[in-house]
């Protein structure tokens, strides 16, 4: 395991490896985002892609949740599509410029034909994405060993859904490609898998201590299509992270029916959403650590309700090593900061008697 000896808090990494911890680790997806006053102040000055391409600002917004809420891990601030321009796709975020909110992505030249797939280039992170790697180094300088840093990439199907549809309009074109042109679909997933692997390897080499793979939309596929078009590529990414020596985390939504199979893909941690009880998830995936699974909508309500639901999940997860508290998806816009702090403090205070 790649573990710098100067880290002051290794609870998260220990839990990823199913090792005993003194208290439950907690971090939250989108813990750097629009619910934070500090983040909105930064976004009031720069557009979203400008932020993603500034190592100084990447470090600033990544470290802020650690300073403000005391999470047990930081996660690189970036986007799962940030590499697409290097692959030949014209990416923009047309809404939300200058602090008006982070709008959905737009791709002016989406992938629609086999020729489009063949024209895609696998990026070189050092050449094409130096700001991400410089951002990793700047984050670690800002964290000063307080907590580990999680790197991430988008999974092939989820990235393909944006690349083929031209944005976030659904999955019809991509799913049609699976059936009408399976060879073309495999060629696309192959390139996106290579792109994911080189990015995550570079992030780890730059200083990330763990890696999360976001397959947010994989629940759109049935088991046959998952086995044909998704699981083999995800297993390759997991193997690449394993060889790099850091824990790997799989994240998806709507996949409770496939949990046992996902646990066999080679990831150290499987993140589950709120659609499955956490104790059931742990029983069905005994060979991996489990991360989750508070419904982020709960935290739009009150601190009391948020803490009550969070502690019920901690209790249900059980005392066995290998549990990380998180959300079933990212923190939502409008979530009160005091609710986030209340949940973090409550999870840290939780003890098995």
Active-site pick, 14, 18, 39, 43: 43
Which among 319, 226, 246, 222 is positioned nearest to 23, based on CA atoms? 319
Tell me if residue 40 is catalytic: no
Active-site pick, 14, 72, 79, 225: 79
Paired residues of 26 in beta bridges: 325
Tell me if residue 39 is catalytic: no
Length of the chain, in residues: 353
Active-site pick, 11, 18, 30, 53: 30
Tell me if residue 121 is catalytic: no
Omega before 293 within 30 of 0, i.e. cis: yes
Tell me if residue 267 is catalytic: no
Q: Alpha-carbon distance 86 to 148, whole Å?
A: 28
Q: Contact at 8 Å (CB) between 334 and 303?
A: no
Q: Alpha-carbon distance 14 to 123, whole Å?
A: 32
Active-site pick, 11, 18, 34, 53: 34
Active-site pick, 162, 233, 267, 323: 162
Which among 226, 241, 162 is positioned nearest to 196, based on CA atoms? 241
Tell me if residue 162 is catalytic: yes
DSSP string across 83-146: THHHHT--EEE-SSGGGT----EEESS---SHHHHHH-----HHHH-HHHHHHHHHHHHHHTTS
Which residues are identified as catalytic?
A: 30, 34, 43, 79, 162
């Amino acid at each position: 395991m790649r573990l710098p000896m100067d880290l002051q808090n290794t609870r998260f990494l220990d839990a990823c490896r199913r090792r005993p911890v003194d208290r439950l680790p907690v971090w939250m997806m989108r813990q750097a985002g629009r619910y934070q006053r500090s983040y909105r102040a930064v976004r009031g000055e720069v557009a979203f892609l400008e932020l993603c391409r500034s190592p100084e600002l990447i470090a600033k917004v990544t470290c802020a949740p650690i300073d403000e809420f005391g999470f047990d891990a930081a996660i690189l601030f970036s986007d799962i599509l940030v590499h697409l321009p290097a692959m030949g796709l014209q990416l923009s975020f047309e809404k939300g410029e200058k602090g008006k909110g982070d709008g959905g992505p737009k791709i002016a030249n989406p992938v629609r034909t086999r020729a489009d797939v063949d024209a895609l280039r696998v990026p070189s992170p050092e050449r094409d994405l130096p700001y991400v790697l410089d951002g990793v180094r700047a984050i670690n300088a800002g964290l000063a060993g307080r907590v580990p840093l999680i790197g991430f990439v988008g999974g092939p199907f989820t990235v393909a859904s944006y690349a083929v549809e031209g944005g976030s309009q659904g999955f019809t074109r991509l799913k049609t490609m699976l059936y009408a042109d399976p060879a073309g679909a495999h060629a696309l997933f192959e390139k996106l898998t290579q792109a994911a692997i080189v990015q995550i390897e570079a992030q780890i080499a730059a200083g990330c201590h763990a890696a999360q793979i976001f397959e947010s939309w994989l629940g759109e596929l049935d088991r046959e299509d998952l086995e044909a078009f998704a699981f083999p590529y995800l297993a390759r990414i997991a193997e690449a992270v394993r060889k790099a020596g850091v824990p790997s985390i799989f994240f998806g939504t709507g996949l409770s029916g496939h949990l046992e199979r996902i646990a066999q893909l080679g990831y150290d941690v499987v993140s589950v959403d709120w659609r499955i009880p956490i104790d059931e998830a742990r029983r069905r995936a005994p060979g991996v650590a489990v991360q989750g699974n508070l419904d982020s909508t709960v935290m739009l309500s009150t601190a009391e309700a948020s803490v009550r639901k969070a502690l019920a999940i901690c209790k249900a997860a059980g005392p066995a090593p290998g549990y990380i508290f998180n959300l079933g998806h990212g923190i939502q816009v409008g979530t009160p900061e005091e609710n986030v702090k209340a949940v973090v403090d409550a999870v840290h205070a939780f003890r098995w008697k």
